[in-house]
Every structure is written in structure tokens, then in C-alpha cells.
Amino acid sequence: MSEQAFDIIIIGAGPGGYTMAIRCAQLGMSVACVEKDPGLGGTCTNVGCIPSKALLHSSELYHEATHGFAQHGIKVGKIEVDLPAMMAQKQSVVSSSNKGIEFLFKKNKVTWLKGEGSLLGGGKVAVKGESAGTYTAKHIVIATGSEVMPLKGIEIDEKQVVSSTGALKLGAVPKTMVVIGGGVIGLELGSVWNRLGAEVTVVEFLDRILPTNDGEVSKQMQRVLAKQGMKFKLGTKVTAAKAGKGGVTLTMEPAAGGATEEVKADIVLVSIGRRPYTKGLGLEAAGVQLDERGRVKVDDHFQTTAKGVYAIGDAIQGAMLAHKAEEEGVVLAELLAGQKPHINYDAIPGVVYTWPEVASVGKTEEELKAAGIAYKAGKFPFTANARARAMTMTDGFVKILEDEKTKKVLGAHIIGPDAGHLIQELVMALEFGASAEDVYRTVHAHPALTEAVKEAALAVDGRTINI
């Protein structure tokens, strides 16, 4: 058994945990990070953001080769999917990311406590596993992330009925797949298997996909994905799933009530969201309270209801995004070091890594209307952007929302090629209180996709050039 004291002990080495650990070490603190998984990086690195983006990129290349090359005058022979090789590529990306974080821990002298951590109270943490023992710290941070949200009446076996984890390691391309949930994870993984040859149907309880995004973007995205072959059943709830030798039989009915129907699929992906992972942490005994949704209660400085215990990331309120957790980790580290950092929750971007991509920051039109805020909207389509035409990727648009009185950018929404990169200029605009004019007075290179951002900003003032 080991006994050691640290300035900071962080439970969880996902994006929030490992980023905070490194920042704390940079600030001169002694840091330990407790992680039970064999590879550092948490859900994001091992079974989330990173492997899904690897498969998204590989499947995009396959889809482009089979559907897009000919238009560019490129003739190819028979193209086949080598799924084991694709999965091996995915895993190599995950492994290199694991090793990268482990290297950063060693470089910054962060101690990795291998095992499961729990709170004992009084500044103590118990670890079960390879690094078994009791450890003490001035400050303890809960950064345990989230887990898959279960759906009542459906048992996930990770073979026929899978979560996102199982969908990342299927052994064969299914003939048919039903995705329960039309949010980010469902659309991303549904896109992967759709491109590789599966017939994908998305079942969504609400009346539109991407329900938290700007309404116009959601409608456009559904049209684009339908063009790619995906099918949609909106306003529908799944009440049961029965797996058998011939696949999975789903029972579903209208969300508003009505007659039931049965649908069969080889694979069913349950992706209705995620919930904070807090089990086995000894929170109650340590005096750490949860809210009505199972999230750790914290104040504006991430302090829980137990003195000296903090929480960040998916375990607390707010968007479940890796970059939100990372920023919270950095902010908390700097607060504990006596600095005065800040985080602007209105300027955190969200990206859907389908193709085309969807990216957003700030308020939607629906939110501004509900709040009674007078605003101006400027929109520019990629069909009028020269670079997008050259790339033969003209689906989508850029939309910018500006406060009519203050002239500050309040929100921005993009559906189109490389939207995840393009949004960052508008995140910066939001962060610094810029106006649409500030954006369009900045010179943009030609020909570039970023010109669509400039033109959307011009559209706010009714003075677009290229449309």
C-alpha cells in the first residue's frame, strides 16, 4: 500500500482531467491523476471523439473515391472497404494519442495513479488497482466525465444493440442500421456506416434532428443527409428492442401517441445522449451533492458542497464537450494558483463532424426570438463561394446573428465544408464583442471558404458582393 501527499489529485484523465493536471504542474503544483483505463485520455480519446473522427475521415475518403472522383476526371478501378485495415488505422490514432498524453505527463512530472479512485473525506482519496493506496491532497478534483444514457426497455449488448462504443468496433458493415437519436453522436456514426454501405434510418423523438441547433441548420442538414441516403423517422419513440438470430426487432410509436409498428435492423445504435459518471466515487459520504439530473453541484469557482473538492467537465452542468472540459480544467488550475482567469460559456463552439460539417456558437434565432432580443441576420450560401465550387462541395451556408442595438455578434451557424474550422473566426468575434462589420472589414484571402464568413457578415448590413 502506498501513501503520498500531493497539492492536487484529479480523478479522471479525460480532456478536462489531463489538461488540468498539466496546467497545474506548469504552475508549480505537485499533481496526481487517477485513471482506471489502460490508456490515458478518457472516453474522448479511447471510445469517443478521436476514434469516431478517424472512422469519419476514412469513410469520407471512401465515399469521395466512389462518388466524387469521376467528376474531377479521376478514374479508378474497383474500390472495396477493408474494414479490418480501417479499424486498425483508427486504433493506431487512439494509441498514438494515448502515448502522447503519457509523454506529457512524464514531461510535466504528473503522477499517474492507475486504478479507480474514490473520496474518503478529509482530503483523502482511495485508489483500487495497480496504484492501490490512500493519497492526500489540498485539493481534489472530480473529472470523471460521462457515460452512455440508457433507454428504458432496451438492453445494450454491444453486439446487435450497441452504444457509440460498440458502433466504433463493428466487425462487418451491417446491411441495415437503425440509429435511435438524431443528435451529434447518432448522425456522426450513422454517417460512417451509411457511407460504407449500410442502409441507415435515424429515429428521433422530437420533430427534427439536431434539436439544440439553429432550426434552419437542422432542416438543411436533414435534407443533405437524406440526399446521401439516410432515412429519418421523426416524432417517433422506440419502446422495445428484441435481438435474435435474424437481427433486432424494434417496436416504435408516434411520440404523440398512436399505433405501434415494428422495424427490423441488423444493428441498432442507441445514442440518446450521455449522463455524468459519478458512481463508485464516494460522493455522498464525502458531502458532495448532486443536482436533480445527477450532476455534481458546483459554484462559479467549481467548488462542490464539500470543502476542497471541485468538479469540472461532463460531471457538472453545461454542454458535454471535450473543449469545454479542457477550458474548465485550465481555469480551475489558474484559480487555485491565485490567478484571475475566465471562461465565456456563450462563446463555446459546437461541431458535428459529418460531411458537410455543422458548427455553431452563441445564440440561435429561436433563442433570440424567445428572449425578445431584436437582431439582424446575414446569410451566405456556399454555392456562391468560388473555392467551394472548385471543391464541388457547395451544400450549406454561413449565418451570422447580430444585436440590432449593440451591433455585437450574438451567434453564428454554419453548415458546409470545414465548418468546424470556419466557426473559429466567429468564436473570436463573439469572445471580443465584435460586430459583423469588424468581421467583414478584416481582409480575407481569395479564393477561400472563409470568404463565405465575410460575405455573411456583409449580409448583416445588406451589402453582400457575390450574391
Alpha carbons 232 and 159: distance in angstroms, whole number: 23
Residue 153 grid coordinates: 426497455
Alpha carbons 270 and 150: distance in angstroms, whole number: 8
Alpha carbons 55 and 58: distance in angstroms, whole number: 5
148: nearest Cα among 189, 192, 88: 189
Q: Is 446 a catalytic residue?
A: yes
For residue 341, cis peptide bond before it (omega within 30 degrees of 0): no
Alpha carbons 307 and 315: distance in angstroms, whole number: 17
289: nearest Cα among 307, 314, 273: 307
Reduced to 3 states, what is the DSSP secondary structure of residue 214?
Answer: coil
Q: Point out the catalytic residue in the list 67, 72, 301, 446.
A: 446
Kindly report the backbone phi and psi dihedral angles of residue 101, in degrees, each rounded to the nearest multiple of 5, phi listed first.
-70, -40
Residue 337 grid coordinates: 494558483
175, HSE (Cβ side, Cα atoms, 13 Å):
6
Question: Is 188 in contact with 355 (CB distance < 8 Å)?
Answer: no
Burial of 243 (0-12, 13-18, 19+ CB in 10 A): middle
Question: Is 356 in contact with 416 (CB distance < 8 Å)?
Answer: yes
Residues known to be catalytic: 446
